[in-house]
């Protein structure tokens, strides 16, 4: 059996991410994250592993090393270019325990099933039923799963499958790019799923709202984005960057109907509350922007921030996760939902930073 540290040391990252002949690829994940997810997967010699999202090929090489000659890795990606690139590098390095195929990741790869393990390097709309059905009893899945119908609002989730039923074992902070039905050069600047309105000039700005069923023509989303691009009120809350994942998870436990996310001029993102007539978000730099000083959404956002502070800015693993069945036609499976523990101890209200009102700044 190959030791994890031995495998991490034996597979050179740059051979896949920045190959001398095939060049660099942007379709890569942080090596430390890959190693974290592979560790959670608990691959053993002889295992059959399904990899959804071939990417640079580095993660597939790690999995092949861990499976050994008695195991097999099936790696699938929607991009033929990435598949051909990974195949060539694997062949050059003598990696023979892996098969790479062009395929839709949401469908898994039934012709090579069943699998002992599955890992997803992209974020599907939910845990696909097809992945669960292709896992052996006692098998394991590690994937980035949404916790709200908004881009980038997801957690890395470890799941075990027993008697065909998936059960969440652990969640940690982190998110991978959304899965796409066709190859795209950039799945991050403007996500392909759950963006309700996008203003592409001069640089892309977009908004995602949880109340999209009440906004069939996207006019409310457009108005909310315009309010945030031209805010009538700003205030400084405090440092948010270090705890952004905590804030993202807490606002989705469970998500409020007004929960919304924005990206402004492809420079900064924010999470907050919007309605058809009001909007307020806190940005990753700790700035709060709103349509007006007495905005109804601003009142809600401030209440959320107080509750988050009282909960002690909890990490992802502090929440109670569960999978809720979803029979959606496009991707039936399980929605990951979070709950705040009943015994969460509030922090002192005196420790809650008080926002400082600021001048109105131009968009």
Contact 73, 65 (CB under 8 A): no
The 10 Å Cβ neighbour count of residue 313 is 16
Report how far residue 321's alpha carbon sits from residue 335's, in angstroms, rounded to the nearest whole number: 10
Q: Which of 29, 144, 179, 278 is catalytic?
A: 29
The answer to whether the Cα torsion of 82, 26, 28, 318 is positive or negative is negative
29: annotated active-site residue: yes
Report how far residue 81's alpha carbon sits from residue 61's, in angstroms, rounded to the nearest whole number: 18
Report how far residue 272's alpha carbon sits from residue 199's, in angstroms, rounded to the nearest whole number: 19
The answer to whether the Cα torsion of 292, 293, 298, 300 is positive or negative is negative
Instruction: Return the C-alpha torsion angle 176, 177, 181, 182, nearest 10.
Output: -130
245 strand-pairing partners:
none
CA distances (Å), origin 260, targets 187, 257, 268, 276, 338: 19, 9, 14, 12, 17
List the catalytic residues.
29
């Amino acid at each position: 059996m190959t030791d994890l540290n031995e495998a991490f040391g034996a597979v050179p990252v740059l051979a896949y991410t920045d190959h001398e002949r095939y060049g660099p690829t942007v379709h890569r994940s942080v090596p430390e994250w890959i190693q974290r997810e592979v560790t959670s997967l608990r691959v053993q010699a002889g295992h059959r592993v399904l990899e959804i999202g071939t990417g640079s090929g580095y993660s597939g090489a790690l999995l092949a090393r861990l499976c050994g000659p008695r195991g097999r890795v099936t790696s699938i990606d929607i991009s033929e270019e990435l598949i051909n690139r990974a195949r060539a590098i694997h062949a050059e390095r003598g990696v023979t325990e892996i098969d790479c195929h062009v395929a839709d990741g949401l469908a898994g790869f039934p012709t090579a099933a069943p699998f002992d393990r599955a890992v997803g390097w992209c974020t599907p709309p939910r845990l696909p039923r097809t992945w669960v059905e292709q896992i052996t009893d006692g098998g394991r899945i590690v994937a980035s799963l949404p916790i709200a119908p908004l881009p980038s609002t997801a957690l890395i989730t470890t799941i075990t499958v027993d008697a065909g039923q998936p059960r969440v074992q652990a969640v940690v902070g982190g998110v991978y790019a959304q899965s796409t039905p066709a190859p795209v050069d950039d799945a991050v600047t403007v996500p392909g799923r759950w963006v309700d309105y996008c203003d592409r000039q001069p640089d892309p700005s977009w908004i995602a709202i949880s109340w999209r069923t009440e906004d069939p023509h996207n006019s409310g989303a457009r108005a909310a984005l315009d309010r945030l691009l031209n805010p009538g009120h700003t205030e400084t809350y405090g440092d948010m960057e270090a705890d952004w994942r905590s804030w993202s998870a807490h606002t989705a436990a469970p998500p409020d109907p007004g929960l919304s996310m924005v990206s402004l001029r492809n420079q900064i993102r924010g999470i907050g509350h919007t309605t058809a007539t009001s909007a307020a978000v806190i940005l990753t730099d700790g700035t709060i922007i709103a349509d007006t000083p007495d905005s109804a959404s601003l009142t809600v956002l401030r209440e959320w921030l107080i509750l988050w502070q009282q909960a002690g800015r909890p990490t992802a693993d502090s929440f109670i996760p569960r999978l809720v069945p979803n029979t959606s036609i496009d991707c039936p499976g399980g929605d990951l939902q979070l709950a705040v523990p009943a015994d969460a101890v509030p922090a002192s209200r005196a420790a809650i930073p008080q926002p400082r009102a600021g001048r109105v700044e131009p968009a």
